[in-house]
Amino acid sequence: MSLLDQFYGNSKAKEALVFYQRDGRFPHGILLEGQEGCGRRTFARLIAAAALCEGEDAPCGRCRHCRKILKEIHPDVQLIAPEPGKKSFKKEQVERLRADAWVKPNEAPRKIYILCETQYMTAWAQNALLKLLEEPPAGVLFLLTCDNRFKLLETVRSRVVALTLEAPGEELAEKALLEQVPALTQQQARLAAMESSGNVGRAKRLLADEGYAAVMDKAAALCEKMEKADWFGILQVLSGFESDREGLLQCLEQVRQLLAQNTKDSFFAKKDRQYRILPLQAGQVLGIIEQGMEYARQNMGMPLLTTWLGAGIGSAFEK
Ligand SMILES: [Zn+2]
């Protein structure tokens, strides 16, 4: 199995990569364009692995080159990015690259440079890179990432092959998250996938955020209490937000997304109906939640709002 099978969506970019690999000829420069979080760096590493792989089904993930690239310790695959918190490349970074590109590789047949966020390269830096792209040292492969190719100089764009990457969508993002983030429940993966519009990188950042995780737990708790028609439990969870308007809005939005799945015969509902809440009840609760979110935005007092919500949601489950 090739590592490409674990990179979801983006069939065009993957086909191009398979073509280069089979052909044994990679362009000198490949530009990976796409929104932040859609896997540009990951895909750049996959290209690097495919270019150096010694196994079958390249990139195999098992040969010495693949393993080192995945661990980010391959001496001939360098990642160059703006320093954390900075948005531009330092002059020294570019000068070092220009000198280093002419030095022979350590252990691989070629050297590969991954240049991240090249939309932040100054015209000077891009022109310095252009010289390398025009007459690249033998075997050197440049992989550039950017959010929008038109932020680069036309002269640079014309020297590279551009591949566009896209977020794989909610269903595939959920699958990817379950594979990549340890101890994630299906429901957490689903929510994060929905809230990030199917962008795996963004979903991972959301999941790593402590505030988000706490809100997500409360949204799940609310749904569980509803499932049990536990009115007191519902009130208890809601009262935890009495001094946190923003948190309540986030939590209601998550519950809204979870319940919206119960009111339609969607992919998620078919796959596993997490909450046994009837579509009719889910619809009623959705109406209350949407009204509650409106009140929250209109600055209704929090104790009143949480009580109003608790009473409304509770009444949907009266037997
Ligand atoms: Zn390999």
What pLDDT is recorded for position 80? Answer: 94
- Give distance in angstroms: CA of 49 to centre of ligand 1: 6
CA of 47 to the centre of ligand 1 (A): 11
Looking up tokens 């998550």 gives: 254
CA of 101 to the centre of ligand 1 (A): 23
Span 160-187, average pLDDT: 93
Question: Which tens digits make up the pLDDT trace of 256-291?
Answer: 888 877 665 444 444 444 567 778 888 899 999 999
pLDDT above 70 covers a percentage of the chain that reads 95
* Residue 16 CA, ligand 1 centroid: distance in Å: 18
Ligand 1 centroid from CA 178, angstroms:
24
Ligand 1 center to 139 CA (angstroms):
18
Residues in contact with 309: Cβ distance below 8 Å, sequence separation at least 6, in sequence order: 238, 252, 288, 289, 292
d(CA 81, CA 93) in angstroms, rounded, equals 9
101: pLDDT strictly greater than 90: yes
Q: How is 193-205 classified by DSSP, letter by letter?
A: HHHTTT-HHHHHH
Q: What is the pLDDT of residue 153?
A: 96
Per-residue pLDDT for 42 more than 70?
A: yes
Q: pLDDT confidence of 216, banded at 50, 70, 90?
A: confident
Q: Is the pLDDT of residue 85 over 90?
A: no
Residue with tokens 């099978």: 5
What's the rounded Cα separation, in Å, for the pair 145 and 33?
A: 6
pLDDT digits (tens, 9 = 90+) for 123-144: 999 999 998 999 999 999 999 9
**What's the CA-to-centroid distance between 13 and ligand 1, angstroms?**
19
Sheet bearing 29-33, strands edge to edge: 77-80, 112-115, 141-146, 29-33, 161-164
Q: What percent of the chain has pLDDT over 90?
A: 70
Ligand 1 center to 72 CA (angstroms): 14
Instruction: Please determine, for residue 159, whether its predicted confidence score (pLDDT) is greater than 80.
Output: yes
For residue 126, the CA-to-ligand 1 centroid distance in Å is 32
Comparing 18 with 262, the larger pLDDT belongs to 18
pLDDT digits (tens, 9 = 90+) for 174-206: 999 999 998 888 888 988 998 899 999 999 999
- 80 CA → ligand 1 middle, Å: 22
Span from the CA of 109 to the centroid of ligand 1 (angstroms): 14
> What is the predicted pLDDT for the residue at 264?
56
**How would you classify the pairing of strands 29-33 and 141-146?**
parallel
The yes or no reply on domain 3-164 and CATH 3.30.56.10 is: no
Nearest CA to 293 out of 238, 228, 237 is that of 238
Under 8 Å between Cβ of 40 and 47: no
Contacts of 200 (CB under 8 A, 6+ apart): 8, 37, 38, 39, 167, 168, 173, 176, 177, 180
The mean pLDDT value of the chain amounts to 90
Q: What secondary structure does DSSP assign to 256-309, as a single string?
A: HHHHHGGGTT-HHHHH---S---HHHHHHHHHHHHHHHHHHHTT--HHHHHHHH
Interval between CA 70 and ligand 1 midpoint (Å): 10
pLDDT in tens, 218-249: 998 998 898 888 989 999 999 999 999 999 99
Q: Output the CA 315–ligand 1 centroid distance in Å.
A: 59
CA of 67 to the centre of ligand 1 (A): 7
Distance 156 CA to ligand 1 centre (A): 30
Give the distance (Å) from ligand 1 centre to CA of residue 19. Answer: 16
Q: What span, in angstroms and rounded, lies between the C-alpha atoms of 144 and 80?
A: 10
pLDDT of residue 270: 41
- Mean of the pLDDT values across residues 26-45? 96
pLDDT of 302 over the 60 cut: yes
User: Is the model's pLDDT at 77 over the cut of 70?
Assistant: yes
